[in-house]
């Protein structure tokens, strides 16, 4: 007799996990948005724009870290190019935001300001439908998924893995960055997209819209964690970890690793793209620097610091690293990259299982 779907869903997390998730939801979906929107600025309980924006941005990073964990921690595929999927989602949504400016730009034209400056006479064909919110949501998912599926199919079919796969993904990201830097591609060149005004007709800088974007980021993070947990506790997840540990044995048992690896790779890319689409309206800009190789390496660092193959570990890693980054870029602007590198080295040498692994060892010693 098959277990009902509701029972299987509730068994994804232990009771303590559901309690923690409910507490997180209450804080991010209710408490913080209410304190931001309805509490006066001069009240000590007011949550500022800076806190809401920083929190939303870090939660977007956490989604990307979980997406990285799905392919690296559970499938053993280290990608150093996930920044390209994050940026593609951001650019797809950025096109919609640029169209929403309308004639309020500097040149009062229906074309984006950078196109007027470069003497464009009409929108390129690939901007068609970019003023539609639903079409934009489709592009956010479809474009990164198509790129990931094509790239992954040929890479996995050729049995490319390990450091060679990592290098190829890094080359893919670098090539995409060079492409988007060019003015004639129609994506704003070096400056990218900025000066956003509205989403669905609502002011993008209003407290209400900031609170909505913050809550959507939190909701997407929770859904990503639940999806990852459900998948990794299912038969699919067990086969995926078996491919990570002994791919040849899995093939001998009759499974085709290509299908499993390609699915999780494409899903991971789509999650990164959604995170990018949520990230752009909160920070107010998207440019080719989001595709830099350093950004993709940072994603791997978040996952390693928190702990691979744990799901919650990458979230912790993304929060810790980015909060530290926010502090060090202000306190030590010339040396923060050295702090980041030292953190990664220390984790690799003394905490190979990340923060979560360290906590588990401490807890086990306490019980002993």
CB 261 within 8 A of CB 151: no
Of 362 and 216, more confident: 216
Q: Which positions ≥6 away from 65 have C-beta within 8 Å?
A: 299, 302, 303, 306, 314, 315, 317, 318
Structure tokens at 173: 């990201």
Query: Residue 261 pLDDT > 80, yes or no?
Result: yes
Q: Which positions ≥6 away from 361 have C-beta within 8 Å?
A: 353
Distances (CA, A) of 173 to 66, 80, 89, 170: 19, 8, 14, 5
pLDDT in tens, 71-91: 999 999 999 999 999 999 999
Among all chains, which residue has been given the structure tokens 């506790």? 233
For the entire predicted model, the pTM comes to 0.94
Q: In this predicted structure, what is the pLDDT of residue 3? A: 62
Query: Residue 368 pLDDT > 70, yes or no?
Result: no
Q: Which positions ≥6 away from 148 have C-beta within 8 Å?
A: 85, 265, 266, 268, 269, 270
Mean pLDDT within 24-31: 96
Q: How many CB atoms lie within 10 A of CB 285?
A: 18
Q: In this predicted structure, what is the pLDDT of residue 218? A: 97
Query: Residue 11 pLDDT > 80, yes or no?
Result: no
Q: Which one, of 316, 309, 145, lies nearest residue 221 by Cα?
A: 316
Query: Residue 99 pLDDT > 70, yes or no?
Result: yes
Q: In this predicted structure, what is the pLDDT of residue 13? A: 85
Structure tokens at 94: 């950025």
CB 78 within 8 A of CB 271: no
Mean pLDDT within 29-41: 95
CB 302 within 8 A of CB 61: yes
For 229, phi then psi, to 5°, come to: -65, -45
Q: In this predicted structure, what is the pLDDT of residue 8? A: 64
Q: In this predicted structure, what is the pLDDT of residue 7? A: 66
Rounded to a whole number of angstroms, the distance between the first and last alpha carbons of the chain is 40
pLDDT in tens, 221-253: 999 999 999 999 999 999 999 999 988 899 988
Residue 366 pLDDT grade (very low, low, confident, very high; cuts 50, 70, 90): low
Mean pLDDT within 40-60: 94
Residue 105 pLDDT grade (very low, low, confident, very high; cuts 50, 70, 90): confident
CB 302 within 8 A of CB 116: no
Question: In whole angstroms, what is the distance from residue 144 CA to residue 267 CA?
Answer: 10
Q: Which one, of 227, 265, 271, 267, lies nearest residue 243 by Cα?
A: 265
Q: How many CB atoms lie within 10 A of CB 49?
A: 12
Query: Residue 1 pLDDT > 60, yes or no?
Result: no
Full 3-state SS string of the chain: CCCCHHHHHHCCCCHHHHHHHHHHHHHHHHHHHHHHHCCCCCCCCCCCHHHHHHHHHHHHHHHHHHHHHHHHCCCCCCCCCHHHHHHHHHHHHHHHHHHHCCCCCCCCCCCCHHHHHCCCCCCCHHHCCCCCHHHHHHHHHHHHHHHHHHHHHHHHHCCCCHHHHHHHHHHHHHHHHHHHHCHHHCCCCCCCEECCCEECCEECCCHHHHHHHHHHHHHHHHHHHHHHHHHHCCHHHHHHHHHHHHHHHHHHCCCCHHHHHHHHHHHHHHHHHHHHHHHHHHHCEECHHHHCHHHHHHHHHHHHHHCCCCCHHHHHHHHHHHHHHHHHHHHCCCCHHHHHHHHHHHHHHHCCCHHHHHHHHHHHHHHC
pLDDT in tens, 52-70: 999 999 999 999 999 999 9
Q: How does strand 198-199 pair with strand 202-203?
A: antiparallel
Structure tokens at 231: 């998948």
Mean pLDDT (the chain) is: 91
Rg from Cα positions in the chain: 21
pLDDT in tens, 264-299: 999 999 999 999 999 999 999 999 999 998 899 899
Share of the chain above pLDDT 70, in %: 96
Mean pLDDT within 321-342: 80
């Amino acid at each position: 007799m098959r277990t009902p779907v509701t029972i299987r869903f509730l068994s994804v997390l232990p009771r303590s996990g559901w309690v923690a998730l409910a507490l997180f939801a209450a804080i991010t979906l209710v408490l913080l948005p209410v304190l931001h929107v309805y509490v006066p600025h001069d009240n000590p309980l007011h949550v500022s724009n800076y806190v809401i924006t920083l929190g939303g941005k870090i939660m977007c990073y956490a989604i990307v870290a979980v997406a990285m964990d799905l392919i690296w921690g559970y499938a053993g595929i280290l990608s150093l190019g996930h920044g390209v999927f994050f940026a593609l989602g951001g650019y797809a949504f950025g096109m919609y935001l640029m169209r929403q400016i309308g004639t309020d730009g500097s040149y009062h034209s229906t074309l984006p300001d950078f196109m007027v400056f470069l003497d464009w006479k009409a929108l390129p064909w690939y901007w068609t439908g970019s003023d539609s919110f639903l079409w934009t949501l489709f592009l956010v998912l479809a474009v990164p998924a198509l790129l990931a599926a094509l790239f992954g199919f040929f890479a996995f079919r050729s049995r490319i893995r390990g450091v060679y796969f990592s290098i190829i993904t890094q080359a893919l990201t670098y090539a995409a960055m060079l492409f988007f830097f060019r003015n004639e591609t129609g994506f704003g060149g070096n400056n990218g997209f900025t000066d956003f005004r509205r989403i669905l007709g609502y002011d993008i800088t209003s407290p209400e819209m900031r609170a909505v974007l913050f809550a959507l980021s939190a909701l997407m993070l929770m859904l990503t964690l639940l999806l990852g947990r459900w998948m990794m506790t299912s038969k699919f997840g067990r086969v995926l970890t078996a491919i990570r540990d002994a791919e040849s044995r899995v093939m001998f048992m009759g499974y085709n690793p290509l299908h499993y690896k390609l699915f999780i790779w494409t899903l991971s890319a789509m999650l990164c793209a959604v995170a990018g689409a949520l990230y752009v309206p909160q920070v107010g800009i998207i440019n080719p620097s989001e595709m830099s190789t350093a950004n993709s390496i940072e994603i791997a660092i978040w996952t390693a610091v928190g702990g691979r193959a744990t799901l919650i570990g990458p979230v912790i890693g993304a929060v810790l690293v980015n909060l530290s980054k926010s502090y060090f870029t202000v306190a030590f602007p010339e040396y923060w990259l050295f702090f980041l590198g030292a953190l990664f080295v220390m984790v690799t040498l003394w905490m190979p299982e990340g923060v979560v692994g360290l906590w588990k060892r401490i807890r086990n010693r306490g019980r002993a």
